Amino acid sequence: MPFDAAQLLPILPEIAILVTACLVLVVDLYLKERDKGINHGLTLIGLLVAMGLAGLVGGGERVLVLGDNVVRDTLGDVLKVFVLIVSFLAFVYGRPWLKDRGLLAGEFYVLGLFAVLGMLVMIAANSFLTLYLGLELLALSLYALVAFDRDSKAGSEAAMKYFVLGALGSGLLLYGISMIYGATGSIELGAVARAVSEHGIDNNILVFGIVFLVIGIGFKFGAVPFHMWVPDIYEGAPTPVVLFLGSAPKIAAFALGVRLLVDGMGGLHADWQGMLVILAVLSMAVGNLLAIAQTNIKRMLAYSTISHVGFLFLGLLAGSSQGYAAAMFYAIVYALTAAGAFGILTILSREGFDAEHLDDLKGLNDRDSWYAALMAILMFSMAGVPPTVGFMAKLLVLEAVVRVDLVWLAVVAVIFSIIGAFYYLRVVKLIYFDKPATDAPILASGGVRVAMTVNGLAVLLLGLFPATLLGLCQTAFG
Amino acid sequence: MEPGFPLLTLTIWLPILGGLAVIASGDKASAVSKWTALVFAVLTFLVSLGLWLGFDANSAEMQFVERVPWIPSFDVHYFLGVDGISMPLIVLTTFVTIFVIVAGWEVITYKPSHYMAAFLIMEGVMVGVFSALDAILFYVFWEAMLIPMFLIIGVWGGPNRVYATIKFFLYTFFGSVFMLVALIYLYFQANSFSILDFHGVQLGMTAQTLIFIAFLLAFAVKVPMFPVHTWLPDAHVEAPTGGSVILAAIMLKIGGYGFLRFSLPITPDASASLDWLIITLSLVAVIYIGFVALVQQDMKKLIAYSSIAHMGFVTLGFFILFAILQRSGSTTGAVMGIEGGMVQMISHGFISGALFLCVGVLYDRVHSRQIADYGGVIHTMPWFGAFLVYFAMANAGLPGTSGFVGEFMVILAAFRADFWFALLAATTLVLAAAFTLWMVKRVVYGEVKNDKVAKLQDLNGRETFNLGALAAAVLLFGLWPAPLVNVMHTTVENLVVQVSACKLPAGEASDCVLPRSAAVAAAAR
């Protein structure tokens, strides 16, 4: 195949991130300890450039490049931009925490950037191979990030667990892929989809392969019963890392789900729908019920993530373009909200102190009423209370399942959302109704405050004016 | 539906923007934020008077309609409009909010600007609930209402406020999410989120029953009806005075409004077949809760239970229409029942608001709500005593006060349905007299009980203004309810016509309890 430079055009955002990562890697060697902030600046610039490039090369018809291994479509454009935005926020929020602990090292940014690159590759993947490459790049970077604070026993333990279970999940996914390859003779998603529609549903190997694919996806999303790693990792990993791995990768996981199940296995929707129903109901049940029992807020948010994954699956399993758009809306909204919530936790931490327990939020309103208001907005959004965007996201997935006559599933979902409302309310209660346990000032630079404000208000304003984002999601699924 | 001046939008967003302005003004110069809040509250009331003045009482159509796409791809509109049912409730909302702001003037010391702002935002959202004609918009306002109230009770409430406010939130949230599923289901039947389109949808009996139950859960919790009323006494007792006033005067009315806007017109057949349930629960509320009120030691709890009993009257008035129609076929009786319920809602808004303000007046001075801590208040606070006795009489339904008009209309209508309904409902007059007057006797009359009572100061200017204005309203609508009834008459007649027609599809026509109207039968073909 002759090389054509135009083929690289659609992957300019990925290239930009790769270049930034390499740049930070090299520049870091020459930086003195007090100049490490330059890494931070470079990373943010790289993310902004990638965002600009994604906007520039985005739009228009679906394009396949690099031997049909990579695709550029509206879905990818939108998801990439949001992955970059959320990662940008995560890096901004994380900086004071890292600086306080002397961890503001180049490695954090290099690993983070490689993780972003992995996510972008996943989103752009049009073959099992690209998808898997992106996934592993993301996963390996995250394993290392979780263990980033190497003096922390909890962090090392979490990294080990994450690695073992992540490898298991990847292995299952790969096993599924190999079966599908055996049944269809291709790893290119378009060819797989054609083969599926030709030989149809009766192929046992294919159906068996889907089972493993769904398990793999379940692992990566952290859906019940493949959720065991989530609470432990969230609890053990350093807060800025949780902030990073709890937000943007959900968008990438959504891309993984869509590329595999919809682009590849769309013809077998009837087979995977039932599996996702089980995963969704279990995730909503286990996530919401166990979250109530948590006293560690990172663990609580971990279970909350699990329950949100259940909601997200509702959109996917509906199997309609509205459903996919709803799930996409949900993934983006969740990533933004989670970034904000973990961001607040990161900001509340100080040198030698991590805000990890629910009680650490006590009386936040008396300490800083603006952060308190933002956190309350984020919590109400997670609970799905209007006028925040969390409500719109839930409304859209509920609409999608009712549209395909799964009214009972919608009823189950709202019942669990009532249960879920309790533990989010408890956070608001601690912020507003309790007296602060400490009067330590909240140290956060102006940039962090601005980013946090934008993030919190976005959650509110997207709830008041959801049409634009929803329109983007719907064009992605034509 | 000519595009006119967006009066409703102004009524909704003026107080919300005012609330944000008040927060922005901060607590450093608290006089500034308080006056800003008051100015916005008064302005909003004046704007809402424009709704009353510009309202055409001879039309059952929605008026002041505004409709712009909100989420086009999802067919959701920013769709507002009022009819004779919602317009008086909006004016009630803006009217009562003024007194809430005034009542909190000196009493609130912790972040007063946030307190005022919460009530202003609350006001805008409640007006939104009454004027939304798009189901999703309605739901957004409906749920958004919870957030400010949750914070008001939780931040400025009494000792047990956290329990009360979380109970309040979860109860209401529980009720309303099922309504959401019902609304989404209706969207696919009507192909539109417009509530007016929902009214014309044909639904089978099973679907109607399920939707009716979903609505019932939402509205019964809000009203609140027995047996889902237990959040109300807790919320009232713990809420600050202003919170109690808004809860009793307006938020409870939203449940009643929901029955008229959703349950009756969307699911008339299910309502007709399940009206016995609502009537039973209403009568239980009137009688049993009346007795419960009798034994309360806490003044706020007593008024809270009295509210539940009075709201039982409202739901009774709304749901006896099927019995009246079957028995006499007279729509006048049915109209009277619903109008009686509506008048009762408005009047209860004034009276319960005023009673909670009265309790607030005492609580601010003595810091106790226990009846036993008072006695002989009239000796030290003659003006206050006069007001309290007056509002207590109104609460007991004394002729000449607005409390009498609604109850009388409902009882009159109930006679046309069934003698026993009317008899049982009429016991409320006795019970309400018993529990309110007994409370008044123990608090206001008798010997001066203790030193605290002996040192009480009579009403200050602000308190006199609050109670005086409400007393005037109670007297006005008690002596001359015609303007209020006239405004809603055409709308209610139209509602009764709509509700008294069977909406079942042709296949289930034999199950119709209600007559099939020509229009619906035509739609069925």
> In three state form, how does the secondary structure of chain A look?
CCCCHHHHHHHHHHHHHHHHHHHHHHHHHCCCHHHCHHHHHHHHHHHHHHHHHHHHHCCCCCEEECCCCEEECHHHHHHHHHHHHHHHHHHHHHHHHHHHCCCCCHHHHHHHHHHHHHHHHHHHECEHHHHHHHHHHHHHHHHHHHCCCCCCHHHHHHHHHHHHHHHHHHHHHHHHHHHHHHHHCCCEHHHHHHHHHHHHHHCHHHHHHHHHHHHHHHHHHCCCCCCCHHHHHHHHCCHHHHHHHCCHHHHHHHHHHHHHHHHHCHHHHHHHHHHHHHHHHHHHHHHHHHHHCCCEHHHHHHHHHHHHHHHHHHHHHHCCHHHHHHHHHHHHHHHHHHHHHHHHHHHHCECCECCCEHHHHCCHHHHCHHHHHHHHHHHHHHHCCCCCHHHHHHHHHHHHHHHCCCHHHHHHHHHHHHHHHHHHHHHHHHHHHCCCCCCCCCCCCHHHHHHHHHHHHHHHHHHHCCHHHHHHHHHHCC
Listed in sequence order, the residues at least 6 apart from B182 whose beta carbon sits closer than 8 Å to its beta carbon are B210, B211, B214, B215
- Across the interface, of B71, B139, B165, the residue whose CB is closest to A386 is B139
**How many C-beta atoms lie closer than 10 Å to residue B69's C-beta?**
13
- A403: nearest CA partner in chain B: B188
Distance from C-alpha of A76 to C-alpha of A120, rounded to nearest angstrom: 8
CA atoms within 13 A on the CB side of A185: 4
Q: Which residue from A415, A425, A467 is facing B71, i.e. has the nearest CB? A: A467
A14-46 pLDDT per residue, tens: 999 999 999 999 998 888 888 888 888 999 999
pLDDT on residue B7: 86
- DSSP structure string for B269-293: HHHHHHHHHHHHHHHHIIIIIHHHH
> A292 in contact with B at a CB cutoff of 8 Å?
no
Task: Check A385 against B146: CB less than 8 A apart.
Answer: yes
- CB-CB contact of A413 with A311 (8 Å): yes
- Does the beta-carbon distance from A387 to B140 stay under 8 Å? yes
A350-357 average pLDDT score = 77
CB atoms within 10 A of CB A400: 27
Task: State what percent of residues in chain A have pLDDT above 90.
Answer: 45
B423 touches chain A (CB under 8 A): no
Which strand (E) or helix (H) includes residue B376? none
Q: Is cis: bond before A387, omega within 30 of 0?
A: yes
Q: Which residue has the higher pLDDT, A197 or B124?
A: B124
A454 touches chain B (CB under 8 A): no
> Quick check: helix, strand or coil at residue B394?
helix
pLDDT tens track for A253-281: 999 999 888 888 887 888 888 899 999 99
Judging contacts by C-beta atoms under 8 Å, the chain B residues touching residue A387 are 140, 144
Of A290-294, B215-219, B520-524, where does mean pLDDT reach its minimum?
B520-524
Peptide bond between residue B227 and the one before it cis (omega within 30 degrees of 0): yes
> Distance between CA atoms of B323 and B278, rounded to whole angstroms?
12
This prediction's pTM: 0.91
- What angle do the packed helices B402-417 and B419-444 form, to 10 degrees? 160
Which of A385, A398, A415 minimises the CB distance to B143?
A: A385
Range of the structural domain that residue A419 is part of: 5-476
Q: Does A398 touch chain B (CB under 8 A)?
A: yes
Please report how many Cα atoms fall inside a 13 Å half-sphere around the Cα of residue A444, on the Cβ side: 22
Residue B523's pLDDT is 47
| Nearest residue, CB atoms, A433 vs list B74, B143, B155 | B155
**How does the average pLDDT of chain B come out, rounded?**
86
Mutation target for B interface from A320, A397, A399: give the one with most B CBs within 10 A.
A399
**Number of other CB atoms surrounding residue B423 within 10 Å:** 12
The answer to whether the beta carbons of residues B120 and B40 sit under 8 Å apart is yes
What integer best gives the mean pLDDT of chain A?
Answer: 88
Rounded to whole angstroms, the Cα distance separating A114 from A122 reads 12
- At residue B375's C-alpha, the angle toward residues B370 and B378, to 5°, is 125
Question: Dihedral sign, CA of B468, B474, B480, B486?
Answer: positive
- Confirm whether the ipTM is greater than 0.90: no
What letter does residue B517 receive in the DSSP assignment?
Answer: P
State residue B517's pLDDT score: 53
Torsion sign over Cα B288, B294, B295, B300:
positive
Q: Is some CB atom of chain A closer than 8 A to the CB atom of B163?
A: no
Distance in Å, alpha carbon of B17 to nearest chain A alpha carbon: 15
* pLDDT 10s digits, A205-230: 888 888 999 999 999 898 988 888 99
**Residue among A398, A425, A432 minimizing CB distance to B155:** A432
Q: Is B169 on the interface with A (CB under 8 A)?
A: yes
* Single-letter amino acid, residue A170: S
Is the CB of residue B83 less than 8 Å from the CB of residue B61?
yes
Across the interface, whether the CB atoms of A432 and B154 are under 8 A apart is answered yes
Q: List Cβ neighbours of A223 (8 Å cut-off, separation of 6 or more).
A: A217, A279, A280, A282, A283, A306, A309, A310, A313
B73 reaches A (C-beta below 8 A): yes
Chain B hits for A467, Cβ within 8 Å: 69-73
Confidence band for B2, pLDDT divided at 50, 70 and 90: very low
Q: How far is A471 from chain B (nearest CA, A)?
A: 7
Rounded Cα distance between A162 and A144, Å, is 10
Residue with tokens 């007296």: A435
How close is the nearest chain B Cα to the Cα of A432, in Å? 6
- Residues A379 and A279: beta-carbon distance below 8 Å: no
User: What six digits make up the tokens of A318?
Assistant: 């509906």
Label residues B74-102 b or e (16+ Cβ within 10 Å = b). bebbbbbbbbbbbbbbbbbbbbbbbbbbb
Question: What does the block give as tokens for B408?
Answer: 């009388």
B480, pLDDT greater than 70: yes
Domain count, chain A: 1
Give pLDDT tens digits for B414-449.
888 888 888 888 888 888 888 888 888 888 888 887
Instruction: Report the gap between the CA of B511 and the closest CA in chain A (Å).
Output: 25
Inter-chain residue contact B177 with A387, CB threshold 8 Å:
no
Beta strand B76-82 with A70-72 is: unpaired
- The minimal CB distance from A421 to the residues B72, B170, B187 is found for B170
Please indicate whether, in this complex, the C-beta atoms of A433 and B180 are within 8 angstroms of each other: no
* Residue whose token pair is 């609304």: B183
Cis peptide before B224 (omega within 30 of 0): yes
Check whether B124 has a pLDDT greater than 70: yes
Q: B143 in contact with A at a CB cutoff of 8 Å?
A: yes
**CB pair distance less than 8 Å for B177 and A415:** yes
Q: Dump strand ranges (E) for B20-167.
A: 63-71, 76-82
> What's the pLDDT tens digit per position in A328-342?
999 999 999 999 999
Give the pLDDT score at B182.
92
> Using the beta-carbon criterion (under 8 Å), do B71 and A470 form an inter-chain contact?
yes
* Cβ contacts of A37-45, under 8 Å, gap ≥ 24: A37/A99, A37/A104, A39/A104, A39/A105, A39/A106, A39/A108, A39/A109, A40/A91, A40/A95, A40/A104, A40/A109, A42/A109, A43/A91, A43/A109, A43/A112, A43/A113, A44/A88, A44/A91, A44/A92, A45/A20
Give the pLDDT score at B514. Answer: 67
Q: Identify whether the C-beta of residue B375 lies closer than 8 Å to the C-beta of residue B449.
A: yes
CB contact under 8 A, A399 and B169: no
Residue B121: pLDDT band with limits 50, 70, 90:
very high
